[in-house]
Amino acid sequence: MSQNLDWANLGFGYHETEYRYVTNYKDGKWDEGGLITDANVVLNECAGVLQYAQTVFEGLKAYYTKDGHIVCFRPDLNAERLNNSAERLIMPKLPEGRFVEAIKAVVKANKDMVPPYGTGASLYIRPYMMGTNPVIGVKPADEYQFRVFCTPVGPYFKGGAKPIRIKISDYDRAAPHGTGDIKAGLNYAMSLHAIEEAHEQGFAENMFLDPATRTKVEETGGANFIFITKDNKLVTPKSNSILPSITRRSLMYVAEHYLGMQVEHREVLFSELKDFAEAGLCGTAAVVSPVGSIHTKDGDINFPAGMEEMGPTTKKLYDTLLGIQHGEIEAPEGWVVRID
């Protein structure tokens, strides 16, 4: 099923591919698992995932490097994070080896859907796990399904990353002592109303503050923040209610070891925002999106270094990480994993 897609004009959307991976957990163990072609999931009406949102997910990309290999980026960290998320929702763990094998199997089976090098497009991979057996009393399911599907996605920024305008959200994305640090649909459900409202008001994203005190910077609905100080340090929020982004952790390493910058991973007060030189969002989909301004109740905070285009240090971080991912700059051991 070879399709010639218009890679450069693909959006970030779902495009059904031929194969997906499925394994089921029952009586305390995962079955052998394998590839299937049916894109639909058939579940009992009372399945744990449908009633009590017992589901967690991951997101990563496969793409071609310059020398013609299909690779993915740090899948071991996705496996680890999926298991941390699963543990928090009383779901079983999937061994890291099986997670990575499933990713490789799906990408190889849908090889035709990996966009060519240089198009900016990639194959987005979505692993997820859900409670499948009926649960009507409030309790975790006993049976689970882990699936991996993939979908080709276009370049996140057509014509380069333009700085976005964001706003401080009037809502919280997570409960103060809740599940804000896991990758789960329940946190996204919490952010939907806020994002729709922000869009209606002309903002691209929300900045959520810490739910307990609303004095500290957390993240957006689906990306972590990085800030650059006027003396060129990388500052990024530390909190137990934000998701540990793999892109953010990689950028911290790149800043320190490739660009010789100082890195501060600490609480970031809302009141500090006005003193930063550059701001950006980071996550797998866009890698880095520059933030040009943040709307607050007391007026806008503008980042002059990055109002029209990506700020100079953010750009260096972005270019270096992208270069590492695509095999143009030597990667730290284990970061770029070959699939084919």
Ligand X SMILES: *Cc1c(COP(=O)(O)O)cnc(C)c1O
Positions annotated as catalytic residues are 183
The minimum distance between CB 193 and ligand X, in angstroms, equals: 16
Query: d(Cα 227, Cα 169) in Å, to the nearest integer?
Result: 18
72 binds ligand X (CB under 6 A): no
* Residues 281/224, Cβ–Cβ less than 8 Å: yes
The full length of the chain comes to: 340
Q: Does 179 bind ligand X (CB under 6 A)?
A: no
Alpha carbons 29 and 275: distance in angstroms, whole number = 52
Q: Which residues pair with 336 in a beta bridge?
A: 73
User: Least Å distance between CB 139 and ligand X?
Assistant: 26
Residue 183 binds ligand X, judged by CB under 6 A: yes
Stretch 274-303: interaction string toward ligand X, x if CB under 6 A: --------xxx-------------------
Of the ranges 92-100, 111-119, 122-130, 215-223, which one interacts with ligand X (CB under 6 A)? 215-223
Nearer to ligand X, 135 or 182 (CB): 182
The neighbouring-strand residues paired with 289 are 281
Q: Are 161 and 310 in contact (CB under 8 A)?
A: yes
Nearer to ligand X, 19 or 73 (CB): 73
Q: Which of 243, 288, 310, 321 binds ligand X (CB under 6 A)?
A: 243
Least Å distance, CB 74 to ligand X, is 9
Contact 66, 117 (CB under 8 A): yes
Residue type, 216: K
Cα three-residue angle 152-67-15, rounded to 5 degrees: 5
Smallest gap, in angstroms, from Cβ of residue 155 to ligand X? 16
Rule CB under 6 A: choose which of 83, 145, 224, 320 binds ligand X. Answer: 224
Number of residues binding to ligand X, judged by CB under 6 A: 15
* CA–CA gap between residue 16 and residue 25 (Å, rounded): 25
Task: Name the one range near ligand X by CB under 6 A: 99-107, 128-136, 196-204, 221-229.
Answer: 221-229
Of all helices (H) and strands (E), which one includes residue 248?
Answer: helix 246-257
Please report, as a single letter, which amino acid is at residue 24: N
Alpha carbons 331 and 340: distance in angstroms, whole number: 18
Stretch near ligand X under the rule CB under 6 A, chosen from 25-33, 46-54, 195-203, 222-230: 222-230
**Chain positions contacting ligand X, by CB under 6 A:** 59, 183, 187, 219, 222-224, 243, 245-248, 282-284
